[in-house]
Amino acid sequence: MSKPSIVILGAGYGGIVAALGLQKRLNYNEADITLVNKNDYHYITTELHQPAAGTMHHDQARVGIKELIDEKKIKFVKDTVVAIDREQQKVTLQNGELHYDYLVVGLGSEPETFGIEGLREHAFSINSINSVRIIRQHIEYQFAKFAAEPERTDYLTIVVGGAGFTGIEFVGELADRMPELCAEYDVDPKLVRIVNVEAAPTVLPGFDPALVNYAMDVLGGKGVEFKIGTPIKRCTPEGVVIEVDGEEEEIKAATVVWTGGVRGNSILEKSGFETMRGRIKVDPYLRAPGHENIFIVGDCALIINEENNRPYPPTAQIAIQHGENVAANLASLIRGGSMTPFKPHIRGTVASLGRNDAIGIVGGRKVYGHAASWLKKLIDMRYLYLIGGLSLVLKKGRF
């Protein structure tokens, strides 16, 4: 009897944790496991705001896939997914195709622009190692250009659209980077503007108001300007146009970074899956409706929180739990056992406000300042330990 074939698409949090979970649970002769990813590394999405701002080298936010997997158990294919054929149980890649008995889809997200004119063309997004390299280099180039054109203060203006986790963490890192950047390029810090624009009536929507106020006070003290309850109407080569009290107002900025939301990978919709903002509403076992052999993890999975009838946010914490659940269920299926429904366990939430400050709720308790910042570092190191053990923590951890 031939071994079942398991194909995992994407090496983000859900995909890599699913792969490593199967590697741990299954013996060599129980399944053929193939992991497909367009890069030969896994990157830590929750740290990307740091290399984007230039406070951490981008190599610290990634780890080679072959450093993590046992190549005797998992075959790694570096390629880009083009389409999924559910009827033929086949995945088309740019450079070939793969057939599967079980499929795990963890293809990640794409920026959600909500139809705002010009965002795709003129704004940067924090969504990959390459994207953050480009953002860092672009900001540094604008500071360098300012020396030759000192009247162009728009070179020193950075607009960050969206005040969710990524937006807030990014402006915190930017604010910490500015003194160093200004000294390097002989720029008067008073000329620099970091403007955070959010259409919702608060930053970090859904967060405890006391923590939100603390975050705004800390970041405001570092020079971050907030424009809350202020939608971006359009993005142009010169900056953004916002709406203030029903009137349009332009902010001239050479750098616009959009962090205002994500949607699931467009490949799912193109492959005929029914989606909501690119995400598939999965069954209790994280399977695509009508497909008992297709599991969806990470940003591609839509799960409704029954307490508030709203989707769980696409966080790293939940994606990791997706991967763990799918690995356990696939191993059980292959051995003729039963599956366990997925139930999220929200252990806490921590958002950094720069290098040495943060806010969070852990175990129902509010945490602030240095203590929260250390907690954030511990959470990051715990994940490194989960996927790569102590050696990876020592190599990549930020102590």
Give catalytic residue positions.
169
- The answer to whether 325 and 286 have CB atoms below 8 angstroms apart is yes
Residue 46 to residues 84, 170, 200, 253: CA-CA distances in angstroms? 28, 11, 22, 26
- The answer to whether 168 and 85 have CB atoms below 8 angstroms apart is no
- The pair of three-digit structure tokens given for residue 339, joined into one six-digit string: 């599956």
Gap between the Cα atoms of 78 and 72, Å rounded: 17
Non-local (6+) Cβ contacts of 52 within 8 A are 126, 131, 132, 135, 136, 170, 173, 257
Cα atoms in the Cβ-side hemisphere of radius 13 Å centred on 312: 26
Phi/psi of residue 217, each to 5°?
A: -65, -45
Pairing of strands 81-85, 90-93: antiparallel
Element (H, E) at 24: helix 13-25
Pairing of strands 239-244, 262-264: unpaired
Gap between the Cα atoms of 152 and 315, Å rounded: 38
Q: What is the DSSP track for 224-262?
A: EEEEET--EEEEETTEEEEEETTEEEEEE-SEEEE-S-E
Distance from first CA to last CA of the chain, Å, rounded? 50
